[in-house]
Amino acid sequence: MREFSVPAMVEVPDSATLTDAPFTRAVEEPGRIVLRRRSGDAWSAVTAAEFAAEAAGVAKGLAAAGVEPGDRVCLLSRTRYEWTVLDYAIWAAGAVSVPIYETSSAEQIEWIVGDSGAKAVFAETGEHVATVEEIRDRLPGLAHVWGIDAGGVAEVTRLGADVGDDVVEERRRSRTAADIATLVYTSGTTGRPKGCEITHGNLVSTARNAVQGAIAEIAVEGSSTLLFLPLAHVFARLIEVATIEGGIVLGHSDVPSLLPDLASFRPTFLLAVPRVFEKVYNGAEQKAAADGKARIFKTAAETAVAYSRALDDGGPGLGLRARHKVFDVLVYRKLRAAVGGRVQYAVSGGAALGERLGHFFRGVGITILEGYGLTETTAPAAVNRPSAIRIGTVGPPIPGVDVRIAEDGEVLVRGVNVMRGYWNNEAATKEALEDGWFHTGDLGSLDEEGFLRITGRKKEILVTAAGKNVAPAPLEDRLRAHPLISQCLVVGDGRKFISALVTLDEEALGPWKARHGKPEAMTVDELRRDPDLVAEIEAAVADANKSVSHAEAIKKHVVLGVDFTEEAGHMTPSLKVKRNVVMKDFADEIDALYTG
């Protein structure tokens, strides 16, 4: 199939904006709990009336500070309660919010603040504020810098103490669905980040069609989620909006606090990138091995995968159901308890989720709904549903979206989710958008029922010296699933054969050293030459090679002494490998694979 369309389930009027839902709910259901805010070890309820009042108070302060409708205001912070308040305050003031990752360098911050022409910045920590102040003389349009940790939100609220409610109402009404709500800069694996113009209509339409269509079975009365992905990422941002639109209770966390927060917040669904699910699986496997229960876990994992596969093929038989019940008591229940005990569904996006991992978690009792999208498509373009799931695919298009496969295999997307264009970059907009169709740069296929399968990146296809086209993604995904492997990069463009760079997961190495009688002080550089570890990585490569033809198989690999990190410039904030940077920085190691 070359094209598949799903009609919109929710039509959004031209006047709709992101502030309609929270301000209307504040009037109609003032006492309804819409968020929970961490307060020490507990969670304090935030009602619809309280949230709207808080956002309106900050909006008044922004107006008093000279922020006009259409002005840009940057948010430089990790995911936290204040981010959501500030997002809605900026929108209530008629302004445009511009997210910046908390891990961004001074140069990246300067580019985004400067390119967007931001008038104000909310910066989380003292360190963030200092970084902005260092570059401020090169940002003539920047009038205000407020520190969140330093009481900046309260300070802005005080500025607006004499501003009337009518000002906020007028500013809210001055915006329409066609106006820009946020400029989300692509974390981009190549070149300067481009600002994607995401409109109020993009976010409202995509969120409402997702909540009432794609994930209607999850977004039910009493549902809640704990957001821990960076809100600077469009995936987390869309979920933030979807919870406010759908009346789903929202909480905020971060990775260091995640496990205790999950236990106390007890969400009903989660969203994460595949690396998080890989870490959960690998961590459970490592713990079982350390406790001398490796064989039990291995059998439990195999049973979970078999059980899930059987659900797609007539249902599990009596023996499989019995084994599954035993392992539910011994293993699966503990895994569910680790994420709060109430999670039935998790939405995965941002990168490919391995098929085996998807089956494992469904067998455990947590169905991972893999989806697909980009910053330019306001996050989701397609997603699996609880009632319509095909593990290994990213599901059918969400309501209001069309997906087409071009002649060269590229995935094209059109619909309510597609951005208006790139900020201040007409040439890039014309290249990416053609007759309403966004060219994703990804390769894929559609089955007869509209389920989309992503097979690789158009620009990342490697062509060997023999002319063989090789998609690196399937090999890389399979290798990253190994507990000892952190990251990998498959190379071989213009070369005689395919090779790979592999990095080790330092968290997993500690338990592995203990089990294999290695000195605790052994470094990554020493371990990568250790015969036992070398054998494990070779076995992982051999396993990955089973998924491809002989011509596409990895013939040589090297284990590096360092990991790819965002700090070193090798990873994007959304944990994608910057292929061009890695290839440049490790050019000698790559050359050695072909000359050694």
466 or 319, greater pLDDT? 319
Residues 432 and 421: their CA atoms lie apart, in Å, by 9
Exposure on the CB side of residue 64, measured as CA atoms within 13 A: 17
State which fold the 272-341+344-458 domain adopts. Answer: Rossmann fold (3.40.50)
- SS3 for 289-332, per residue? HHCCCHHHHHHHHHHHHHHHHHHCCCCCCHHHHHHHHHHHHHHH
Task: Return the DSSP state at 553.
Answer: S
Name the burial class of residue 585, with classes exposed (0-12), middle (13-18) and buried (19+) by CB atoms within 10 angstroms of its CB: middle
Residues 345 and 367: their CA atoms lie apart, in Å, by 5
Q: What is the average pLDDT across 534-554?
A: 90
Residues 401 and 364: their CA atoms lie apart, in Å, by 32
Q: What is the average pLDDT across 264-277?
A: 89
Q: Is the Cβ–Cβ distance between 62 and 87 less than 8 Å?
A: no
Residues facing residue 270 across a β-bridge: 346
Exposure on the CB side of residue 238, measured as CA atoms within 13 A: 33
Residues 569 and 577: their CA atoms lie apart, in Å, by 9
| Ranges in the chain annotated CATH 3.40.50.12780 | 17-175+219-254, 272-341+344-458
Q: What is the CA radius of gyration of the chain?
A: 24
Residues 139 and 119: their CA atoms lie apart, in Å, by 9
| Ranges in the chain annotated CATH 3.30.300.30 | 461-595
Asked whether residue 535 carries a pLDDT value surpassing 70, the answer given is yes
Average pLDDT, the chain: 93
362 or 455, greater pLDDT? 362
pLDDT the model gives residue 471: 83
Asked whether residue 147 carries a pLDDT value surpassing 90, the answer given is yes
pLDDT digits (tens, 9 = 90+) for 549-579: 788 899 999 999 999 998 888 988 877 888 8
- SS3 for 533-552, per residue? HHHHHHHHHHHHHCCCCHHH
Strands (E), 357-406: 367-374, 379-383, 401-405
Name the burial class of residue 569, with classes exposed (0-12), middle (13-18) and buried (19+) by CB atoms within 10 angstroms of its CB: middle
State which fold the 461-595 domain adopts. Answer: GMP Synthetase; Chain A, domain 3 (3.30.300)
Asked whether residue 334 carries a pLDDT value surpassing 80, the answer given is yes
Q: What is the average pLDDT across 297-308?
A: 96
pLDDT the model gives residue 470: 86
pLDDT the model gives residue 252: 97
pLDDT digits (tens, 9 = 90+) for 340-395: 999 999 999 877 788 889 999 999 999 999 999 999 999 999 999 998 999 999 99
Q: What is the average pLDDT across 227-238?
A: 94
Q: What is the DSSP string of 248-264?
A: -EEEE--GGGHHHHHHH
- SS3 for 427-451, per residue? HHHHHHEECCEEEEEEEEEECCCCC
Architecture of domain 17-175+219-254: 3-Layer(aba) Sandwich (3.40)
pLDDT the model gives residue 188: 56
Asked whether residue 280 carries a pLDDT value surpassing 70, the answer given is yes
Which of 243-247, 298-302, 563-567 is predicted with the least confidence, judged by mean pLDDT? 563-567
Strands 345-348, 269-272: pairing kind: parallel
